[in-house]
Amino acid sequence: MTLRIVFRISVLVLVIYSAVTQKCPAGGRSESSIVGWMLRGHVYDTLLAELPFTCVFKCREDNRCQSFNWVISLLTCEFNNRTKEARPEDFIPNPNRSYYRRDLERVPLGSIQELPAESCDVIKRSEGHAVSGKYWFSTIKSGTSVRAYCNMETNEKWKKINTGPVCFRARGDSYGAFNIRVGGVIYTFKLVHLSGSIRCNPGFSPSYWGCDNPGYGDTRLLTVLTFKNKSALLLADYKRKYCDYRYKIEGVGVNDTELQFNNLPSPISVSVGDEFQIWYGQDLTNCSEDNNSGQTCADVYAWYA
């Protein structure tokens, strides 16, 4: 009974609030509530409040506050550190809640350390017109905010990194090096075959990226990307019980034109000039490389956030 009355009052308040906020555009920043909807999974704090006004003011006091859900049945607001624009997939119907975007002085996502973003795309969605530049990210190093560059002008996620072909041989510490030309956050890489092939043994067929030794089972890929210090990027599930870096990637054969790696476990931040290397796994480890031969040349692409 009382819940019903409270609910009626709440709805009335929502209607009034909506009317007020719509009449005062405040530079077009305000937005009315959306009754019957909520943003899921981004609640960083809650507050008991009889009226959503209280939440509106509380939200303005916290830099993290991007929006809130008002839970009508519990007279509680749930403060979100995202907007529905940033995370449309988490905006869902809920009969007990109303969604309010922060009306005034909302801090742009990724612009301060306390409000790091998960990707450049999310910033772009959240802010509509984001400019290229440095933003804060939560996804580069776990547990801390790190600043990295976002190119907001491009929609193409794969960016070619090399200028000339990058070539690597199967033996003799003959890796292919390439340097980053655009700073940013990288999820993964892919190599596109240009010319040449490699053998891990004169008795087996050559291939672009691997070793055609039947003894390798389904882990016949052997092309490895490393940092300049020769430590391998975790772009595949390497079988390290063997002396080389053999692995399999679902759907990629040793002779496929494109070798697209798995996503890195956590994206890496790169700066202009950073060097990376392509190695044949046996050359990287000096592991049974004596009978190896050949050279593969490729283009390198990175998937930027």
Ligand X SMILES: *[C@@H]1O[C@H](CO)[C@@H](O)[C@H](O)[C@H]1NC(C)=O
Q: Decide: is 231 part of the binding site for ligand X (CB under 6 A).
A: yes
Residues 79 and 61: their CA atoms lie apart, in Å, by 11
Q: Decide: is 173 part of the binding site for ligand X (CB under 6 A).
A: yes
Among 2, 142, 155, 229, binds ligand X (CB under 6 A): 229
User: How many angstroms separate the first and last alpha carbons of the chain?
Assistant: 51
Residues 21 and 4: their CA atoms lie apart, in Å, by 25
Q: Decide: is 227 part of the binding site for ligand X (CB under 6 A).
A: yes
Q: Whole-number minimum distance, CB 15 to ligand X, in Å? A: 20
User: Of 91, 90, 136, 133, which Cα lies nearest the Cα of 110?
Assistant: 136
Among 255, 262, 293, 295, binds ligand X (CB under 6 A): 255
The amino acid that residue 91 corresponds to is F
> Which residue, 2 or 155, has its beta carbon nearer to ligand X?
2
3-state DSSP call for residue 147? strand
Among 126, 285, 292, 296, binds ligand X (CB under 6 A): 285
Q: Whole-number minimum distance, CB 161 to ligand X, in Å? A: 16
Residues 6+ apart with CB under 8 A from 185: 119, 120, 137, 139, 140, 148, 150, 267, 268, 269, 270, 304, 305
Q: Whole-number minimum distance, CB 281 to ligand X, in Å? A: 11
Over the window 113 to 132, marking each residue x when it contacts ligand X by CB under 6 A and - when it does not, the resulting string is --xx----------------
User: Of 5, 10, 2, which Cα lies nearest the Cα of 71?
Assistant: 10
Count of residues near ligand X by CB under 6 A:
29
Over the window 203 to 222, marking each residue x when it contacts ligand X by CB under 6 A and - when it does not, the resulting string is x-xxx----x----------
> Which residue, 56 or 254, has its beta carbon nearer to ligand X?
254
Cα atoms in the Cβ-side hemisphere of radius 13 Å centred on 78: 19
Q: Decide: is 286 part of the binding site for ligand X (CB under 6 A).
A: yes
300's tokens: 């390198």
Q: Decide: is 193 part of the binding site for ligand X (CB under 6 A).
A: no
Stretch that binds ligand X, among 29-37, 99-107, 182-190, 195-203 (CB under 6 A): 195-203
> Which residue, 30 or 185, has its beta carbon nearer to ligand X?
185
110's tokens: 């990724």
Interface positions, 52-81, toward ligand X (CB under 6 A) = 64, 73, 81
Q: Decide: is 95 part of the binding site for ligand X (CB under 6 A).
A: yes
Q: Decide: is 142 part of the binding site for ligand X (CB under 6 A).
A: no
Task: List, edge to edge, every strand of the sheet that includes 275-280.
Answer: 176-179, 275-280, 223-227
**Cβ(280)–Cβ(171) below 8 Å:** yes
User: Of 158, 163, 170, 193, which Cα lies nearest the Cα of 301?
Assistant: 158
Q: Decide: is 2 part of the binding site for ligand X (CB under 6 A).
A: no
Using CB under 6 A, list all residues that contact ligand X: 42-44, 64, 73, 81, 94-96, 115-116, 138, 173, 201-203, 205-207, 212, 227, 229, 231, 254-255, 285-286, 290-291
